[in-house]
Structure 1
Amino acid sequence: MRRFVALACLLLAACGEPPATQETAVANPPVASDGSAMNSEKVPTIVMLGDSLTAGYELSESEALPAVVERMLAARGVKAKIVNAGVSGDTTADGLNRYDWSVKGTGADLLVIALGANDFMNGLAPERPKKNLAAILDRAKADNIPAALIGVTIPERNLSPQDQAYAAIYPDLAKEYGVPYMKNFMAPVAGRSDLLMEDGLHPTARGVEAMALSVTEFLAPIVSELD
């Protein structure tokens, strides 16, 4: 029980039924995360491949993390179109299985991978998400799409051997593949009942705003360097 509570507070893993609208597909003409038509100016396309924390569990499309980050980047003068490729309940295996649908063919200039919380909460052996995440990174590399990792953060105390293995997945892969890595995804809302839904797991719209600030800090310099 102590381990489950710690994970629920610190990971706030994505769960629940998939929302009716799970992704913002690339349309013709292109449509940004806020629903507005893109002009002819070339802006980088960022695909966020994730679970309900990306999809925006029980939130509107404009309140979901990708749309909020897109607006925050724009406020900093960093133009980007962020595609919401989040599906509630997804594991790393699910993300890998839908790579062709969610990433390939979108014209992505950057892939942000925010998966793994459900693997951890479901008690899957850490070798499985590490293998799946590596496969996603391999696919992106083969498609010449730069990638960035948003990882599951695990408290660095009283860890079981399996927890230690999970904690090492993201920094190890970031080093191996030479990709940027963000480790404190849920820190802005951890333990904050005022920023979480009644389930204690998913962020409210205000919680997403808090999370988006740190994600924007992470992505802004990366997006600015895209060709």
Structure 2
Amino acid sequence: MGFQAFVMSVLLLVGCSAQNEPPAEPPASATDDVTVADVAEDDAQVIVMLGDSLTAGFGLPDAAALPSVVERKLTEAGYEVEVINAGVSGDTTSMGRARYNWSVASADPDIVVIALGANDFLSSLPSSLARDNLSALIEQSQQDGIEVILAGLSPRFEGADNSLEAEYAAIYPSLAATYNVPLYPDLMAGVWNTPSLLLGDGLHPTAEGVEVMATGLLPVVISVIEAD
């Protein structure tokens, strides 16, 4: 699909979230959704998925959201894991960075999947800002002893002749190489161009689409689990 189609696809990532930066501490009403309420089993690997509406499960029940499906598939494959949904519709990299302590570090996870940046582009924020925020998230995670998987949300910038488009397209592979972290370049691989895997808005994945997304992401997650 072309770049304009991609832009239309991620417009709804903004969802209904406010555009103001979130507080560094969670509002009381948010803690149940994006922080750890229960302690994982002693032997379970904890994975946090930090992202926007594609992580949060826009328009789907909790059990059909990407983190829940990834957890189910990993469990079926014989891995003892807890996958925590730290997705918030509309989040920019700044917003994800602001809530790192209470939506990622508070879980004391083994792995974090960082899937942010599309909303920065849609807001025409400088690519340097998104890069700096993603860099800070990766660095803080690594300092905290958390393995990082970087998930690209802007996989196809076809004919990117606009400088901002090209700058954003380069962020993810560059950061993956700089910090030596695994890159999953296309979180919606196999779903973007398949209408039957999209909700009625034609943009967000159906439950079946999320199954495809999870299947694609799974080998990267397993490789990190097994490397520990």
TM interval, shorter chain, is 0.7 to 0.9
Q: Provide the alpha-carbon RMSD of the alignment.
A: 2.1
1 CA distance for matches of 2:49 and 2:11?
A: 18
After the TM superposition, which residues 27-106 of structure 1 pair with which residues of structure 2 at under 5 Å, given as runs?
A: 27-28=37-38, 30=39, 39=41, 41-106=42-107
Structure 1 residue 24, shift from structure 2 partner: 5.0
Structure 1 residue 169, shift from structure 2 partner: 0.3
Instruction: Specify the alignment match of 1:34 in structure 2.
Output: none
Instruction: Specify the alignment match of 1:224 in structure 2.
Output: 226
Where do 4+ consecutive residues of structure 1 move more than 4 Å? Answer: none
Q: Sequence identity of aligned pairs in percent? A: 41
After the TM superposition, which residues 206-225 of structure 1 pair with which residues of structure 2 at under 5 Å, given as runs?
A: 206-225=208-227
Instruction: Specify the alignment match of 1:201 in structure 2.
Output: 203
1 CA distance for matches of 2:117 and 2:202?
A: 18
**Is the CA contact (8 Å cut-off) linking 1:46 and 1:109 kept in structure 2?**
yes
Instruction: Specify the alignment match of 1:183 in structure 2.
Output: 185
Superposed CA deviations along residues 28-58 of structure 1, whole A, max 9, x for unmatched, are: 4x3xxxxxxx55x411101110001001112
1 CA distance for matches of 2:200 and 2:123?
A: 21
Higher percent of residues as helix: 2
1 CA distance for matches of 2:94 and 2:190?
A: 27
* Pair 1:157 & 2:159 matched: yes
**Is the CA contact (8 Å cut-off) linking 2:157 and 2:166 kept in structure 1?**
no
* Pair 1:23 & 2:33 matched: yes
Name the aligned partner's letter for residue 128 of structure 2.
E
* Pair 1:14 & 2:24 matched: no
Name the aligned partner's letter for residue 15 of structure 1.
V
- Sort the Cα spacing of 1:157 and 1:150 in 2 relative to 1 into closer, same or farther, 3 A: same
Q: Structure 2: where are the runs of 5+ without partners?
A: 18-28
Q: Structure 1: where are the runs of 5+ without partners?
A: 31-37
Structure 1 residue 177, shift from structure 2 partner: 0.8
Query: Aligned residue pairs: how many?
Result: 214
**Is the CA contact (8 Å cut-off) linking 1:13 and 1:117 kept in structure 2?**
no
1 CA distance for matches of 2:185 and 2:163?
A: 19
Matched position secondary structure for 1:105: helix
